Every structure is written in structure tokens, then in C-alpha cells.
Amino acid sequence: MKLFFKVQKLREANGKMDHIKNKNIDNNKSQDYTKRTEHTVLNKNLKEELNFLKQISENTHRDKKIIDILPQIAWTTSAKGEIEFFNKRWYKYTGAKANTDLNKTWWYATLSADHNVIEDFWNDILKTGKESDIKIRIYNTNEEAYHWHLVSLVPVKNDNNEIINWIGTGTDIHNEVIQTKLLDSKNTELQAINHYLDHFVHAMAHDLRAPVANIKMLTKILNKDTSANKDKLMHNMFYNVEKLDNTIQGIIKVIDAQGNNDPFTKNINLLDIIIEVLSSENDFITNYKANINISISKSLQLNYVKGFIKSIITNLLKNALEYSKESLPPEISISAHRYNSDTIKLIFEDNGIGMDIQTIKNKIFKPFSKFTHQSKGMGLGLHIIDTMVKRNGGKVEVESEINMGTKFILYLKEYE
């Protein structure tokens, strides 16, 4: 552009010379003067042009020197985005070899999953011509991993406000990005806990209030009643006290499952734990005349919280018995096997009244959820199971049909 500007000036000078020739000056002198003038002007403009080109060369060389000593990775590109230069820090950071195709070096050093984003970014800034930033991942050869970088691109313009190249820098922000993601995850978790607590506390207060109100009413009646109804009143009072106690115990179990960040784990034999639970609940099982079949290897071990396993089995058992058919003795099947290197698959199946999964699938594990009047509990059993299993990254699946029984499939992920 500067060269074009110089030629224009030369043309203007020639125009002035033509004007001088028309002024009755001696033609020979005029021609001689014109030639000397043209020669002088041309030499002057060529000299200026050479100085200008030299200045560009010196500026480019100087810019590369400056970029080369930057503490972060940096590079320059042409106006169209072709890589022209990488600084020393780039080669040291990425482990790329010098004297290779610079554009290929760029794509090799950046994560392939980010390539589409990078291309879209380049297309946008080439259209706008404005300074811009992007977060992408660039290979760190020392750690043999891709690190998040904040890449900034700044246009360099000439005197005519035209972009002649771009200067790019990349600042390693990997730790900041990871910390931000962790904080976002924690915030999401806290929001979920707050939502859970709002619902849980409200439901808990409602369910605690009912037996307390009943006990209060029965106490008043008992104080006034002198008849033989005292035995019936005492029975009702005991029932409500037991109901209240079960609710409080359930709440304690939920708090234990949610609150302990570092629970005590041990290598336990699953079959031994199940037999221990069945023995402690023998009266309950006998009362329902239940038949229980167990298919678990004697050698099946898992590293888990013993209290959690006992609570899970106990709640599954009580759930199967309470939701059994009145006309048919409960048939319960318990089986387990190793699902993968760190997970045990436990299947607990019954022939009870079943559930309409499609109707209640979003409520089945919520606290204080009861789906039939047949339930004698407070609706905390399935919630406790789900909480304990999911606490370590496991999951619970349910298959059920009305009058066809229910199957619980638990994926118990072992603790490290």
C-alpha cells in the first residue's frame, strides 16, 4: 500500500513538471530539468520504499524476538490464519519438533475434540477482524496430558487499518478450569441436597406429627376412662409409640447414609450377612410363613459398609413381606454374583402384590412414599436402600407388575 502511495506522489510530481513545461521555458532546459527532477524524485521514492521495507523486516524480526521470550506459548499467523511462527516456549511445552509443517504442528498439539470449535472460532474472527479469546486444550508433554488454555488472538494492522497478521498467545488455565468444574459440581450437589432436605423435613414433620397427636389423644382418653377399655387404649398407644420409634430410626439411618463422608468399610462375606439378617428377623419371617431361596456363592466377598448391607437386606425383606399377597405365602428369591471387577449384582425377587411402575416410577424412592394402605411402615425403606446404594456410585433398578411380584436389582459398587 505504501508503494502505491509513493507512485501516486511521483505522478503528482510529473504533473507539476508538465505544468512547468507549458510556461515558455526553453525546451532543452525544460527537458533536462524534467529528467533531473524525475530522477531525483524517483531516487527519493525508491529510497523511502526501501527504508519502509527494511523497517517492516526489522519490525517483524523484533516482534518474533519479543514473542520468543514470552513466558507462555505464542505464535503468529498470516492475515488468513496460516501459522508462520511458534516461539520457543511452544516447542518446549508441546514437545513438537521444529522445522515441521507449522499448521500440522498446531493441529497435532490441540485436542481433536476441540478442532471443530477452533475452526468455527477462526472463521468468526477472520470475518470480524477483532481481538478474541477461546478456551481449548493443548498437549502438555511433561504431564503427557491435554491442558486447558485461554487462547487470545490479536490482529496486527498496517497504516491503512488492514490486518497483516495475527499474534496468538496461550495461557495454561488447567487448574482453574478443574477447580471451577469441581465448584460447579459441588454447587449442583448442594442445591440437590437443599431441595432434598426441604422435601424431607416437610414430610418428616408431617409423619412425626401423626403418631404424636394420636398418643396425646389416647393419653387424655386414658386419664378419663376407668372402664375395661384401658387395655385397648394401651395397645393403640403402644402401636403409635412403635410407629414413632420406627420413623425416628429410619431418619437416623438416612442421616447416617447421607452424612458420613468416610464410612468404615471392610471385606465382608455377602452370604454370611444375609444369613445374619434372616436369623435376626426369623419371627417376622415365620409370622408370614415365607419361603426364602438363596443362590449366592459362599466365597462371594465385597468391600462395603457392613451396616449398609444389613440395612439394605433388612428393608428389602420387610418390603417383600409387607407387600405380600394375603392369600399366598411369600416366595422370596435372593441371588448375587460378581458383575464386574468392582461391582456385585444383587437380585431380590418376590411374588407379592407388585406395583404399577409406570405410574409411580418418579416417586418410588422418595422418602415417606407409600403406594398402598397395606404398608405398615413410614415409606422410608426404599429411600434408605436407594440412598445407601447410590452413595458409592451404585444403582437400583426395579421391575414390577400388579399381582405379578417385584424384582429389585442392586448394583453394589465396592468401596476402594
Percentage of residues in the chain with pLDDT exceeding 70?
68
CA distance 330 to 285: 9
Neighbours of 385 (CB within 10 A): 24
Q: Where residue 261 falls among pLDDT bands split at 50, 70, 90?
A: low
Domain spanning 185-413: which CATH class is it, in words? alpha beta
Name residues whose C-beta falls within 8 Å of residue 137's C-beta, 6 or more positions apart in sequence. 110, 111, 113, 114, 146, 147, 148, 149
Q: How do the domains of the chain map onto residue ranges?
A: 2-63, 69-172, 185-413
Nine-digit cell string for 103: 499448521
Q: Where residue 246 falls among pLDDT bands split at 50, 70, 90?
A: low
DSSP 224-249: H--STTHHHHHHHHHHHHHHHHHHHH
The pair phi, psi for residue 186, each rounded to 5°, is -65, -40
CA distance 74 to 136: 14
Q: Which of 96, 98, 120, 99 is CA-nearest to residue 107?
A: 96
pLDDT of residue 149: 94
Contact yes or no for 415/392 (Cβ under 8 A): yes
**Residues 178-194 pLDDT 10s:** 898 888 888 877 776 66
CA distance 362 to 269: 33
Q: What is the mean pLDDT of the chain?
A: 78
Q: Where residue 62 falls among pLDDT bands split at 50, 70, 90?
A: low
pLDDT of residue 7: 32
CA distance 238 to 89: 78
Handedness of CA 333, 324, 245, 256 (dihedral sign): positive
3-state secondary structure of 140: strand
Assigned CATH topology for domain 69-172: Beta-Lactamase (3.30.450)
Q: Among 34-48, 95-109, 386-400, whose mean pLDDT is lowest?
A: 34-48
Residue 36 has pLDDT above 80, yes or no: no
